[in-house]
Amino acid sequence: MAHFPTSLAELKRSPYPEARLKTRSVKDEVRENLICKLRKREPLFPGVIGYEDTVVPQVVNAILSRHNFILLGLRGQAKTRLMRLLTTLLDEHTPYIAGCEIRDNPYAPICKRCRDLIASEGDRTPIAWLARDERYVEKLATPDVTIADMIGDIDPIKAARRGENISSELTVHYGLLPRANRGIFAINELPDLAGKIQVGLFNIMQEGDVQIKGYPVRLPLDVLLVFTANPEDYTARGKIITPLKDRVGSEIRTHYPLSVDQGLAITAQESWTGRPASAGIRVPVYIRECVEQLAFLAREDKRIDKRSGVSQRLPISVLENVVSNAERRALLAGEDVAVPRVLDLYAALPSITGKLELEYEGELKGGDQVARELIRTAVGKVYGSYFDGVNLSPVVQWFDLGGSLKLSETAPSSEMVRELGGIQGLLEKTAALGLGVSEPDAVRASAAEFILEGLYAHRRLSRNEERGFVADERRREPEGQAEGKPRAKRQYN
């Protein structure tokens, strides 16, 4: 509509469907709009990657069933984003009685203030309009949330100012739930709500109304309830009360990306890599794959707590830190292009260790050491996908004959390429990474270093603090002699 009606009389004369507004609930509205999107084959939740065949069909079924539902999953699984995208299934604009705290339906008001207003003003009753984003209310559950915060309470100050009896409905101060009337009310981390607050949700979920204090104030609210929770908390006795679980229509499990490709797409979408910089930024695909593989390996590692999980925020933060270190290096060297290297993965340790909850074995080793081992393994896996069957014996032989290479973090890329070019066959092998002959020095240096790191990860080279990359002596020793010999730690200078 080009013009939004501003009075009840105008609303009645407008093409806005009066009958539908009188009878259709929020759940019906969301259901109808979802059906339209399905028929038109429109994307349902843009920006949510990897749930197309798993979580999204279950959310669709819950909405079609008019269920209140809960998303169960570990941290960093896009639960909150999914909840907020439910607003795309609401009408673009919705009328309500102007000035109403609970956005009352002009044709079916439930609060006393609006009933009295329509009785006195009739068709002159002022009408305002809600955008779909204004019909979403979200609350992070914390133990200090009170029933007054969630449902409401009698306000003695309001009673005194208006000269009303304390028991009058006009003295009510509405909580978050009534203020979400005719919209979506989302609660993050539901089990963190105190038991008595969970009990306060019973009526709205089953009977569709709330009661405030001991006074006979009943509000038949129209709301879609959506929750999130960690599976461990939701199933633990004492965290969530059973009658509340019984009233949740659908329980939907979320998950981390099922494939590295899905993870790459999510990280590319969410990470801040297309940043303005005096040096152009170019992130090689194999570096992105190493970052993503790091997260997948961490989720499988026995030293890391599975109940806590490894958030998808880890690869996002790591990639941003990796790019920042490359950007810093390019700025110091005065180069036109910043290209991340494997070195930058180790420089990004601060963005890794804080996101890993370690088990006892991991605590003994320390988060820093666990993270370094994960990086090395990730590089080895990605290296294997590019160089399986590729003959790199000439490179290894160069080190076996006594060669060593110590790379500096701050050295210009041209100097690095000159040093790396002294290793027979190394730069030629970067073609397996899709590099042409005219690539910038920073790109060639990154690729060549990745090959050396891959050889190190596969134990075909060694590395020590004093000499850098060197031959791995254990490959030339009998197995019994090499057994138990400490491995050189990987460090940069």
pLDDT band per the 50, 70, 90 thresholds, residue 151: confident
Residue type, 386: Y
- 230 contacts 74 by C-beta, under 8 angstroms: yes
pLDDT exceeds 80 at position 255: yes
pLDDT in tens, 440-451: 999 999 999 999
pTM score: 0.87
SS3 281: strand
Per-residue CA distances from 411 to 418, 419, 423 (Å): 11, 11, 18
The pLDDT value recorded for residue 492 is 36
Which residues are within 8 A (CB) of 429 and not within 5 positions of it... i.e. 6 or more apart? Answer: 387, 390, 392, 395, 451
Which residues are within 8 A (CB) of 387 and not within 5 positions of it... i.e. 6 or more apart? Answer: 429, 432, 451, 454
pLDDT band per the 50, 70, 90 thresholds, residue 197: confident
CATH 3.40.50.300 assigned to 8-253 = yes
Q: Angle 375-378-380 (CA atoms, 0-180°, nearest 5)?
A: 110
What angle, rounded to 10 degrees, do the helices at 441-457 and 367-387 form?
110
First to last CA, the chain: 66
Place of tokens 């607050």: 197
pLDDT in tens, 419-459: 999 999 999 999 999 888 789 999 999 999 999 999 999 99
The pLDDT value recorded for residue 475 is 60
- C-alpha closest to that of 111 among 210, 187, 17: 210
No. of helices (H) and no. of strands (E), the chain: 24, 15
CA pair distance 424, 422, nearest whole angstrom:
6
Phi, psi of 421 (to 5 degrees): -65, -15
Strand partners, 188: 140
Q: Which class for 233: exposed (0-12), middle (13-18), buried (19 or more C-beta within 10 A)?
A: middle
* CA–centroid distance for 303 within its chain: 23
Phi, psi of 142 (to 5 degrees): -135, 155
Strand partners, 219: 210
- In the numeric block, which tokens belong to residue 414? 């041209």
Strands, DSSP E only, in 271-397? 280-281, 337-338
- C-alpha closest to that of 182 among 308, 97, 70: 97
Place of tokens 């979802």: 34
The pLDDT value recorded for residue 215 is 64
- In the numeric block, which tokens belong to residue 309? 């999980």
- Count the helix, strand and coil residues of the chain and give each as a percent rounded to the nearest 5: 50, 15, 40
Ranges of each domain in the chain: 8-253, 260-482
**Hey, which of 48-52, 108-112, 406-410 has the most confident mean pLDDT?**
48-52
SS3 197: helix
Q: Angle 245-249-253 (CA atoms, 0-180°, nearest 5)?
A: 80
